[in-house]
Structure 1
Amino acid sequence: MSHTTSSRKRTLITASAASLGALALTFAGAAAAQAHVGVSTNTSEAGAYAIATVSVPHGCDASPTTQISIKIPEGIDAVTPTRNAFYSVEKVTETLDTPITDGHGNEVTERVAEIVYTATTPLPADQRDSFELSLQLPENAAGSTLFFPTVQTCEEGEAAWVQIPAEGQDEHELELPAPGVEITEAGASSHDTEEAETAEAAEQNNEGAGGQSALAITGVTLGALGLITGAFALLRNRK
């Protein structure tokens, strides 16, 4: 093999490896950017008292998060937010069109419509946080999805996770889907609930960290194809 041919081969391999690395980093970055604000509950049974956890996986691009505003679905009137050491918390109420009677026989004329967490120390864009709300799931909501539209305000810009899919629409088609939780029938077995929650968690992981692995594999495949193409080109030149 001549010195010139050897140099060409080394250059080809180096360029292909660089392209492979760039592709993997690009795909992994795209996966991370697609991680959504989500919500999960320790129980999804209609009428049950639950802890809803809203998770914020990243900032607005590279900007730290300064405020999280969570809309409370209709049918939920009372909410108790969990304290967070890095935020102040505020309940925003609205007047009910028709007063209701609570479980203690008291007349209720307003509901908690929104919970607002304002950061005393901004959340870095490359860190995550979660916000817990204690509430009672509506008794007549089995079979439906409750959405918690969430606006994430950052030092620069905001991300409004408020898009709700139309009937029959796949939520993965939305750019900024509102966090949602599917409500099950009252009395559903804990085993069924755990299976559903495990499946949902697995799906979210595939969108985020797991998705990064899949896309990185795609990058490796494309890089390997580039190496093969380059090798054939080198062989043709040698002939």
Structure 2
Amino acid sequence: MKRSAAATTVAAAALVLLGATGASAHVTVTPDTTEAGSYAVLTVSVPHGCGDSATTAVAIAIPESIPAVTPTVNPGWEISTVLETLDPPVDDGHGGRFTERVAQVVYTAESPLPADHRDAMELSVRLPDTPGETLAFPVVQTCEEGEAPWVQLAADGQDPDELEYPASVVTLTAAADDASVTADAEPEAGTAEGEPVAGAPATGDDGATAGPPAVVPWVALALGAAGLALGGLALARTRRTS
């Protein structure tokens, strides 16, 4: 009887865990960087179909503040774009102007993606220049039967996890100040300021190299190992001839 009760408890816990995992398996858009003004690669992950139905198309809406998108070729999918006119045109950062932008990128499956398989698409974009700006990426997943509209946005104060079909949201961050980081960096451990780093060639007052550079430790180790191997080979030959 105790064994039966324990098995029931474990099974119930497993069902709860599976339910939580299934609920969190959304179509997501994830950037490799969130730094404002930087170029980023957006990964659009499609973890499953619409219930038991295979995926036939994935349409990604692009925020208005992103004027240009470069989709990555994905084997097994055809790519198309939906354009909209920009009025007024937008500076492209290279002396030209964008007169239209990509409002949506659509990946259409050459053969339906099975419901229990996953895939991912990548888009290259230049992020807007404003730290703190929030970008929403609604995605509509079309299947052989029905669709999953991942387009819902949380209201102020609402928990996004409460949404059935949440859209991915990205908040831009400030770029790191590389100059200040370099200026504040401390000297390497074991060296004083102005003292040459171990392994670097010494130089005279005129800047000329005073001697050959030290051998990089792993190169010296490799040369030593080669010497041992040659020594062993010579010893083996000596034994065979004696």
Q: Which amino acid aligns with 2:172?
A: I
Q: Is 2:15 the counterpart of 1:42?
A: no
Q: Which amino acid aligns with 1:76?
A: I
Higher share in helix: 1
Q: Is 2:168 the counterpart of 1:179?
A: yes
Report the CA distance between 1:98 and its aligned residue. 1.4
- Corresponding residue to 1:166 among 152, 155, 162: 155
Q: CA RMSD in A?
A: 1.7
**Secondary structure of residue in 2 paired with 1:77:** coil
Report the CA distance between 1:17 and its aligned residue. 4.5
Q: Which amino acid aligns with 2:26?
A: H
Gaps (5+ residues) in structure 1?
A: 1-11, 190-239
For residues 115-154 of structure 1, the aligned pairs below 5 Å read 115-140=105-130, 142-154=131-143
TM-score w.r.t. length of structure 1: 0.69
Report the CA distance between 1:147 and its aligned residue. 1.0
Contact 1:147 1:178 survives alignment (8 Å): yes
Partners of 2:126 and 2:17 lie apart in 1 by: 38
Question: Taking CA–CA contacts closer than 8 Å with sequence separation of 6 or more, which of the two structures ends up with the larger relative contact order?
Answer: 1
Q: Is 2:89 the counterpart of 1:99?
A: yes
Gaps (5+ residues) in structure 2?
A: 179-242
Counting matched residue pairs gives 177
Q: Is 2:96 the counterpart of 1:114?
A: no
Partners of 2:14 and 2:146 lie apart in 1 by: 25
Contact 1:145 1:183 survives alignment (8 Å): yes
Report the CA distance between 1:21 and its aligned residue. 4.7
Runs of 4+ in 1 over 6 A off after TM superposition: none
Q: Is 2:9 the counterpart of 1:20?
A: yes
Deviates more, 1:94-103 or 1:80-89: 94-103
Indicate the residue corresponding to 1:78 in structure 2. Answer: 68
Partners of 1:107 and 1:82 lie apart in 2 by: 23
Over residues 135-179 of structure 1, what are the superposed CA-to-partner deviations in whole Å (9 max), with x where a residue is unaligned?
000112x11321110001111111100011122322112111101
TM-score w.r.t. length of structure 2: 0.68
Deviates more, 1:167-176 or 1:68-77: 167-176
Partners of 2:158 and 2:177 lie apart in 1 by: 27
Contact 1:45 1:188 survives alignment (8 Å): no
Contact 1:96 1:109 survives alignment (8 Å): yes
Contact 1:57 1:128 survives alignment (8 Å): yes
Indicate the residue corresponding to 1:32 in structure 2. Answer: 21
Q: Which amino acid aligns with 1:66?
A: T
**Secondary structure of residue in 1 paired with 2:117:** coil
Partners of 2:14 and 2:177 lie apart in 1 by: 43
Q: Which amino acid aligns with 1:62?
A: D
